[in-house]
Amino acid sequence: MELGGSYLTAKHRVQTNSRSIRRMSDSVRTRFAPSPTGFLHVGTARTALYSYLFARRNNGQFVLRIEDTDSERNVADSAAGIVDGLRWLGLDWDEGYLKGGPHGPYVQTERLDRYHAAVNALVAHGDAYLCYCTNEELDQRRRAAEAHGLPPGYDGHCRNLRPDQVRAYEAEGRRPAVRFRLPDTGETVVDDVVRGRVVFDNATLTDFVILRANGVPTYHFSAVYDDVDMGVTHVIRGEDLFPSTPRHVHVFRALGRETPPVFAHLPLIVGADRRKLSKRRDKLSVQQYRDDGYLPEALVNYLALLGWSLDDHTELFSLADLEKVFSLERVSRNPAAFDIKKLDALNGHYLRQLPPAEFAARAWPFVEAEAFAGADPAVLANAAPLVQERVNHLTEVPGMVGFLFGDEVELDQAAAAKVLTEYGRTFLVEAAARLDKLEPWTAAAVEETLRGLQTERELKPKTAFQPVRLAITGRLVSPPLFESMELLGKPRSLARLERAAARSG
């Protein structure tokens, strides 16, 4: 029986030998196949990372394809955002979307002719059949099955339709979907690198749709077809897809691949509360972490540790390190808890490891976005050694260096009420008078002068220097005070001390 419907033409009605697609490559080939339904999720990014690392570790190829057949969920420009996130993480692909290659096209909606031809061949072989059931009929039968304590899956209504039944349905104007025919007896064995061997009773599996009535394939068919056609050797994906794997095994076999790819289903990522990550409670987008001042090195390192470890004590891995040591066998089956504090610590570590010039270059977009009057990359570069030891995110840098741009600085009101007491303002007047005579203007000379005044007045360092820090930076938390005053320069430093001293109590 051949498929009917306006979405198929004569050129799609192929012979049975069309079931043989490209043979599996001898080398390792992994793929990352996101749906363009939104941002690049951190869990999806981990899947991409593991697929990338496994390919690199085994001198294989990493393929990127876009699975966009669920048109109702697709989001405009989402594919571009996914690509942007992958590139920011440093996960380059060997072939696929935007790069091309011998197995293209790499966008599923551009491959419909191939899916239609393959589905026709499956129908001709009896591996699939036309299903004329409407959604309403399916819902009614599902509810009836549940009422009688029966499994809710498809009941096989269209499995063996007579020709007169087909004619009657088509006379009604019904457009058929296509269902895959699963075996009724026996077992399906799935060998998974992470989960081990799992045996499914075929009696619990029900026939499923592989081609919708509108001619668009479902994930359960298009993903498998593409894995066969693109020679994918290892399918690395989230554990939420594991229950679908026995279905996929049978589709692989029907498409001529008796031995399916090696499966590795990754553990779920949960929050600190051990619940599944939620858009309401958690940051899920890779781009959000980038915008919040995280480094790609830190996020890559952290994502690698969400379900994988090399040993019990090594936690710092560059992408190059991971390419040499990653293995699927060391992926855990247990859910991985996303610990933002640990990610923050890693990010702080990587920030401090950057050469100051590179730290300044990476921080500059965040500083520039604040539109400080007189902002200068050269000034930021000079301040970098003072700042990078004190921040865990690049978003903190503008607040640490903003005082260096412009002549005046806005004082934190709460801090001013606390430290600009009459005694504090008196100390500022005396400090300005002594510093006015200081030459040369260096951090060491400024420190010697101010500490000398502090000792003379028998003040604790905090009592003496908090008013100075506030006057100079506008805050009570800042880079080192004396080095900051050297960078700010003598004229502006003195003007700020005098302005704060003149503030009314």
Question: How far from the centroid of its chain's Cα atoms is residue 139's Cα?
Answer: 36
- Tell me the three state secondary structure of residue 170: helix
Give the pair of three-digit tokens for residue 298: 């830190």
Residues 6+ apart with CB under 8 A from 105: 111
CB half-sphere exposure, 504, CA atoms < 13 A: 0
Other Cβ atoms within 10 Å of 381 Cβ, number: 17
d(CA 278, CA 343): 18
Please work out, in degrees rounded to the nearest 5, the angle formed at the alpha carbon of residue 131 by the alpha carbons of 128 and 136.
Answer: 145
The one-letter code for the residue type at 200 is F
Give the pair of three-digit tokens for residue 194: 């992470």
Per the document, the length of the chain is: 505
- CB contact at 8 A, 429 and 501: yes
Residues 6+ apart with CB under 8 A from 217: 69, 108, 112, 115, 119, 210, 211, 225
- Phi and psi at 132, nearest 5°, equal -100, 5
- Tell me the three state secondary structure of residue 37: coil
Residue at token pair 């540790």: 305
- CB contact at 8 A, 208 and 154: yes
d(CA 14, CA 3): 11
What is the pairing mode between strands 61-64 and 95-96? parallel
C-alpha gyration radius of the chain:
32
442: DSSP letter: -
Crossing angle for the helix pair 296-305 and 42-57, to the nearest 10 degrees: 80
- CB contact at 8 A, 20 and 30: no
* Annotated catalytic residue, options 11, 99, 276, 279: 279
Give the pair of three-digit tokens for residue 383: 């301040």
367: DSSP letter: H
The one-letter code for the residue type at 132 is Y
Q: Is 283 a catalytic residue?
A: no
Residues 6+ apart with CB under 8 A from 374: 405, 406
Residues forming the active site: 279
